[in-house]
Amino acid sequence: MAYVNAHKIKQDICEIGRRIYNKGFAAANDGNITVRISENEVLCTPTMHSKGFLKPEDISTVDMTGKQIAGVKKRSSEALLHLEIYKQRPDVKSVVHCHPPHATAFAIAREPIPQCVLPEVEVFLGDVPITKYETPGGQAFADTIRPFVDNTNVIILANHGTVSYGEDVERAYWWTEILDAYCRMLMLSKQLGRINYFTEDKQRELLELKDKWGFSDPRNTPEFENCDICANDIFRDSWVDSGVERNAFPAPPPMGGAKPASKPTDGNGTIDQEALVKAITERVMAELSK
């Protein structure tokens, strides 16, 4: 095993703790941070302790089952969430969980994050999923990230906050900061009237740049080559289970593999008038909300 300077990593954890506290991402004792330092050892912030005032000696060590194996202060009660990410993503070395207010507003409203709006978000984040809600702390809560963890580096936890992860603690934190800044921009633009989406050719240019720069995106894989690239297609199948639906922001115009909507029928080729009226009403309401 390569040499790991655990004390230096603990100092890095304390620095990120100060950042999330000073940004207002973790009020009081909110949030938790971990770094995996070996196959079976993970450094973990303590429970009931402000992340803005951490010292290296406050950081505990847990094994991959969640058992604390070192440290005076008790490990975070939400460590199982972090461990589940490490189990699903061996490339990940650090996880940051906190409650950034603008992104958490989307978590509470269960409003999907619009795509095809801001270049930096498309390159660094892509589609951002929202989990179904579970009481924090247990394995059921940790399991809520499993459908999404392979296709993103940041996840919104329904009615709770965010979790992001990467190859070191600073990179893990970056994704949350980018996401919260973007959610704030979306809210401000909504106050001005509307958001404008990229055209398909400009969105595909960004996806090509993303691939060229070495950032993965499911939309650049054969599995999703025919997806509607701006309509949250990567995670949209999870919306019913998670209670996610568009209310604040309209759907973007169909792009990519999206097919024109057909007239609803009753299964025998006859137009279902009730379904047609419902479809028209939904379209009108969407246009009025712009």
Residue pLDDT, tens place only, 212-260: 999 999 999 999 988 999 999 999 999 999 999 999 999 999 987 544 4
| Same domain, residue pair 275 and 180 | no
Cβ of 207: how many Cβ atoms within 10 Å? Answer: 17
Please indicate, yes or no, whether residues 171 and 40 belong to a single structural domain of this protein: yes
> How many domains, in total, are found in the chain?
2
Residue 226 within a domain: no
Unique residue bearing structure tokens 């409003």: 111
Which SS3 state, helix, strand or coil, does residue 225 take?
Answer: coil
State the pLDDT at residue 225: 84
Same domain, 76 and 153: yes
Of 169, 192, 215, the last residue of a domain is 192
The two tokens of residue 135 are 């009481």
> What are 273's two structure tokens?
């008038």
Q: Residue 270: which pLDDT band, with cuts at 50, 70 and 90?
A: very low
User: Pick from 171, 192, 213: which residue ends a domain?
Assistant: 192
Residue 284 — left, alpha, or beta (φ > 0 → left; ψ -120 to 50 → alpha)?
A: alpha
What are the backbone dihedrals phi and psi of residue 61, each rounded to the nearest 5 degrees, phi first? -125, 135
Q: Categorize the per-residue pLDDT at 4 as very low, low, confident or very high, splitting at 50, 70 and 90.
A: confident
Q: Which domain holds residue 274?
A: 260-290
Give 96's pLDDT tier (boundaries 50, 70, 90): very high
Say if CB 128 and CB 154 are below 8 A apart.
yes
Last residue of a domain, one of 192, 211, 244: 192
In the predicted model, what is the mean pLDDT of residues 106-121? 97
Residues 140 and 10 in one domain: yes
Query: What three-state secondary structure class fits 265?
Result: strand
Q: How far is CA 233 from the centre of its chain?
A: 15
pLDDT score at 210: 93
CATH number at residue 161: 3.40.225.10
The HSE-up count of residue 27 (CA atoms within 13 Å, CB side) is 6
